[in-house]
Amino acid sequence: MNIMFFLTPKRDVDCVFEEDTLGQALSRMEGHQFTSIPIINGHTGAYIGTISEGDILREIKKKDSLSMRFEEDKPVMSLKRKCKYRAVRADADIEDLFDCATSQNFVPVVDDTGVLIGIITRKSILNFLIRSYNKCCDGSPEYEGASSLVKLQMYR
């Protein structure tokens, strides 16, 4: 199965640029109720990494203050990120996508040069699996091994 089936294109993804500040990143995250957001290079569009609410909270905690005021102008790239969100290439195998999705809210998808072309959310994968399961099983008790059937269908 082609992973591009799950892709949310870059034009529909809100990103933070590496030149942005923590205040700008928080504003974007809060406005869309995201817990993490991709960071890209503003000139090339290359995927740089992902910043999470946890990263920001750890930074605030280090300063022993609950006020974000002193940190709003801090460059987003100066923030230490705990997790590295692994990106996959557009031609990646479904197994690679699933491997990343087990530990990431979304999986960045890049082209051959590392430019972000979109993301695949764990939610989109789960929705597909649920639809496939329901289509396969039709709610009938006779489909006891249905999850195996869905898995086989996915890898074809």
pLDDT per residue as tens, the chain (156 positions): 789 999 999 999 999 999 999 889 988 998 888 889 999 999 999 999 999 988 888 877 776 655 556 567 888 998 888 888 999 999 999 999 999 999 999 999 999 999 999 999 999 999 888 888 887 776 555 555 445 545 545 544
35 contacts: CB under 8 Å, gap ≥ 6 = 29, 52, 53, 54, 105
Report CA-CA distances (Å) from 56 to 10, 76, 104, 134: 24, 9, 17, 39
What per-residue confidence (pLDDT) applies to 34? Answer: 86
CATH number where 107 lies: 3.10.580.10
Dihedral sign for Cα atoms in the order 125, 130, 134, 136: positive
Q: What is the pTM of this model?
A: 0.79
Domain span holding position 28: 3-154
Q: How many folded domains does the chain comprise?
A: 1
